[in-house]
């Protein structure tokens, strides 16, 4: 399975992590969605962002099997010398290839591969661990969606921000209003049934 994950920090505190998965690297049909609410997270510290982001990612990936590739919003490494970013820590933690897709340029990350999608004039910046950066860039270029940001990343961002489509919002309203830390809220995919 191929997965994309994102984390959002609501003003009320804690974190909401989201994951979408598909059977192909293009995410042509999302088959599984999951969100997890984590009540407490570490405070933001410059240079140690992974300490805040990694626990919610661990929670959303818990009990999810067969993930062969994970796409995240951000950088894998922060410079050509390998200064580790969030994606490198995720790669080390889960032992799977990780593709980092950043929306903004980070000057020290001169090794990031710029990827133009659709009619966008601004590139995405792709880094990777566990596979060559050029291959990762090709995968991001081929991901489903006509916009700058691939559909899977747009969807996982919406789930993390609790901005769901009408089809999943009604299912979410039927579930509990708030979940304890580490508990998952499963949402049916708008593109088909769950396969996990």
Q: What tens digit of pLDDT does each residue of 133-167 get?
A: 999 999 999 999 999 999 999 999 999 998 764 23
Contacts by 20-23, CB closer than 8 A, 24 or more apart: 20/152, 20/155, 20/156, 20/159, 20/189, 21/64, 21/67, 21/196, 22/152, 23/195
The hierarchical CATH code for the domain 2-187 is 3.30.2170.10
Sequence spans of domains, the chain: 2-187
Mean pLDDT value across residues 117-132: 96
What is this structure's pTM?
0.81
Closest Cα to residue 94, out of 128, 127, 131, 54?
Answer: 54
Q: Is the dihedral of CA 41, 45, 49, 51 positive or negative?
A: negative
- Rounded alpha-carbon distances, angstroms, from residue 177 to 151, 156, 180, 185, 188: 27, 20, 10, 10, 17
Give pLDDT, residue 191. Answer: 37
Give pLDDT, residue 12. Answer: 87
């Amino acid at each position: 399975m191929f997965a994309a994950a994102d984390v959002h920090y609501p003003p009320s505190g804690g974190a909401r992590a989201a994951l979408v998965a598909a059977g192909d690297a293009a995410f042509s049909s999302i088959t599984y969605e999951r969100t997890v609410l984590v009540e407490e997270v570490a405070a933001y510290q410059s240079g140690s962002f992974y300490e805040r982001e990694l626990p919610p990612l661990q929670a959303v990936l818990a009990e999810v099997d067969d993930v062969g590739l994970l796409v995240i919003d951000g950088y894998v490494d922060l410079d050509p010398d390998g200064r580790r970013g969030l994606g490198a820590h995720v790669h080390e933690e889960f032992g799977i290839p990780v593709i980092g897709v950043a929306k903004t340029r980070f000057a020290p990350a001169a090794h990031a591969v710029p990827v133009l999608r659709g009619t966008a004039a601004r590139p995405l910046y792709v880094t990777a661990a566990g596979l060559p950066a050029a291959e990762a860039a090709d995968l991001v270029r081929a991901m489903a969606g006509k916009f700058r940001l691939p559909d899977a990343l747009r969807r996982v961002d919406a789930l993390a921000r609790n901005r769901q489509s009408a089809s999943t919002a009604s299912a979410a309203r039927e579930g509990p209003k708030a979940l304890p830390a580490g508990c998952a809220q499963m949402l049916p995919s708008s593109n088909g049934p769950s396969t996990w």
